[in-house]
Chains A and B, each alone.
Chain A
Amino acid sequence: MACRRYVTRSPLMIELVHIQRNFQVGDQTVHALDDVTLNIDAGDYVSIMGPSGSGKSTLLNLLGLLDRPSSGIYRLNGQDVTLLSDIRQAQVRNREIGFVFQMFHLVPRLTAAENVELPLLLAGLAPEQRRPRVARALDELHLSDRSHHKPEQLSGGQRQRVAIARAMITRPRVLLADEPTGNLDHQSGQDVIHILEELNERGITLIMVTHDQEIGRRARRQLHMMDGRITRGIE
Chain B
Amino acid sequence: MALHGADVIRFSAGSLRGFPSRTVLMLVAMAIGVCAVVILTSLGEGARRYVTGEFASLGTHLIIVFPGRSETAGINPTTMMGETPRDLTLDDARSLLRNHSVRRIAPINVGSADVSWQGRSRDVVILGSSHDLLGLRHWEIGQGRFLPQADLDLAMPVAVIGSKIRNELFGANRALGKWLRIGDRRFRVIGIMGSEGRSIGVDIQETVIIPVASAQQMFNTASLFRILVEAKNRNAIETVKVFVIDTLQERHQGEKDVTVITQDAVLETFDRILGALTYAAGGIAAISLAVAGILIMNVMLVAVSQRTAEIGLLKALGASSGQILLLILTEAMMLSTLGAGAGLLLGQLGSLLVRQAYPVLPAYAPAWASAAALVVALVTGLLFSLVPARRAARLDPVLALSRR
Identify the A interface with B (CB < 8 A).
57-58, 61, 64, 66-67, 86-87, 90-91, 93-95, 99, 101, 103, 105, 107-110, 118-119, 121-124, 126-127, 166, 170
Known: A109-B15, A110-B14, A124-B1. A95 touches B318 (CB 8 A): yes
**Are B313 and A107 in contact, with the CB atoms below 8 A?**
yes
Known: A101-B401, A108-B18, A109-B18. A122 touches B1 (CB 8 A): yes
A57→B399 CA distance, assembly (Å): 11
At the interface, yes or no: B7 with Cβ under 8 Å from chain A?
yes
* Contacting residues, chain B, for A61 (C-beta < 8 A): 397-398
**Are A91 and B317 in contact, with the CB atoms below 8 A?**
no
In the complex formed, the residue of B with least CB distance to A91 is B1
Min CB gap A57→B, angstroms: 7
Min CB gap A106→B, angstroms: 8
Known: A105-B309, A105-B401, A109-B14. A66 touches B1 (CB 8 A): no
* Contacting residues, chain A, for B11 (C-beta < 8 A): 121
At the interface, yes or no: B223 with Cβ under 8 Å from chain A?
no
Known: A90-B1, A124-B3. A66 touches B398 (CB 8 A): yes
At the interface, yes or no: B315 with Cβ under 8 Å from chain A?
yes
A109→B309 CA distance, assembly (Å): 13
**Are B17 and A90 in contact, with the CB atoms below 8 A?**
no
Q: Which 3 A-B pairs have the closest CB atoms?
A: A94-B318, A109-B18, A90-B320
* Contacting residues, chain B, for A86 (C-beta < 8 A): 320-321
Indicate the member of B1, B310, B322 with the most A CB atoms within 10 Å.
B1
* Contacting residues, chain B, for A119 (C-beta < 8 A): 317-318
Min CB gap A59→B, angstroms: 12
At the interface, yes or no: B120 with Cβ under 8 Å from chain A?
no
A74→B17 CA distance, assembly (Å): 41
At the interface, yes or no: B174 with Cβ under 8 Å from chain A?
no
In the complex formed, the residue of B with least CB distance to A64 is B316
Min CB gap B353→A, angstroms: 38
Indicate the member of B11, B310, B317 with the most A CB atoms within 10 Å.
B317
**Are B314 and A122 in contact, with the CB atoms below 8 A?**
yes
**Are A122 and B17 in contact, with the CB atoms below 8 A?**
no
* Contacting residues, chain B, for A67 (C-beta < 8 A): 398
**Are B316 and A99 in contact, with the CB atoms below 8 A?**
yes
* Contacting residues, chain A, for B398 (C-beta < 8 A): 58, 61, 66-67
* Contacting residues, chain B, for A121 (C-beta < 8 A): 3-4, 7, 11
* Contacting residues, chain A, for B321 (C-beta < 8 A): 86-87, 90
A94→B314 CA distance, assembly (Å): 10
9 CB-based A-B contacts, threshold 8 Å: A87-B320, A87-B321, A107-B313, A108-B18, A122-B318, A124-B1, A127-B6, A127-B7, A166-B317
In the complex formed, the residue of A with least CB distance to B14 is A109
**Are A107 and B310 in contact, with the CB atoms below 8 A?**
yes
In the complex formed, the residue of A with least CB distance to B8 is A121
Indicate the member of B2, B15, B315 with the most A CB atoms within 10 Å.
B315
Min CB gap B121→A, angstroms: 79
A184→B69 CA distance, assembly (Å): 98
A90→B321 CA distance, assembly (Å): 8
A95→B1 CA distance, assembly (Å): 11
Min CB gap A94→B, angstroms: 2
A116→B261 CA distance, assembly (Å): 79
Indicate the member of B2, B312, B323, B398 with the most A CB atoms within 10 Å.
B398
At the interface, yes or no: B319 with Cβ under 8 Å from chain A?
yes
A42→B314 CA distance, assembly (Å): 26
Indicate the member of B4, B17, B322 with the most A CB atoms within 10 Å.
B4
* Contacting residues, chain A, for B320 (C-beta < 8 A): 86-87, 90-91
Min CB gap A160→B, angstroms: 14
**Are A94 and B4 in contact, with the CB atoms below 8 A?**
no
**Are A127 and B1 in contact, with the CB atoms below 8 A?**
no
At the interface, yes or no: B404 with Cβ under 8 Å from chain A?
yes
Min CB gap A24→B, angstroms: 14
* Contacting residues, chain A, for B1 (C-beta < 8 A): 87, 90-91, 94, 122-124
**Are A66 and B3 in contact, with the CB atoms below 8 A?**
no
At the interface, yes or no: B402 with Cβ under 8 Å from chain A?
yes
Known: A66-B398, A124-B2. A90 touches B315 (CB 8 A): yes
* Contacting residues, chain A, for B322 (C-beta < 8 A): 87
Give residues of chain B (1-30) contacting chain A, Cβ–Cβ below 8 Å.
1-4, 6-7, 11, 14-15, 17-18
Indicate the member of A61, A99, A122 with the most B CB atoms within 10 Å.
A122
Residue-by-residue, is B364-404 near A (CB-CB < 8 Å gives 1, otherwise 0)?
00000000000000000000000000000000011001101
**Are B404 and A103 in contact, with the CB atoms below 8 A?**
yes
Min CB gap A7→B, angstroms: 26
* Contacting residues, chain B, for A87 (C-beta < 8 A): 1, 320-322
Contact of A91 (CB < 8 Å), options: B6, B316, B318? B318
In the complex formed, the residue of A with least CB distance to B397 is A66
In the complex formed, the residue of B with least CB distance to A102 is B404
A103→B316 CA distance, assembly (Å): 14
A202→B319 CA distance, assembly (Å): 27
Min CB gap A164→B, angstroms: 13
Indicate the member of A57, A87, A95, A107 with the most B CB atoms within 10 Å.
A107
In the complex formed, the residue of A with least CB distance to B402 is A57
Q: A109-B14, A121-B7 are in contact. List 8 more A-B contacts (CB 8 A).
A: A94-B1, A94-B319, A105-B401, A109-B17, A118-B314, A121-B11, A122-B1, A126-B4
In the complex formed, the residue of B with least CB distance to A87 is B320
Min CB gap A225→B, angstroms: 17
Min CB gap B223→A, angstroms: 83
Min CB gap B7→A, angstroms: 5
* Contacting residues, chain A, for B310 (C-beta < 8 A): 107
Min CB gap A139→B, angstroms: 21
* Contacting residues, chain B, for A93 (C-beta < 8 A): 315-318
A107→B17 CA distance, assembly (Å): 13
* Contacting residues, chain A, for B2 (C-beta < 8 A): 124
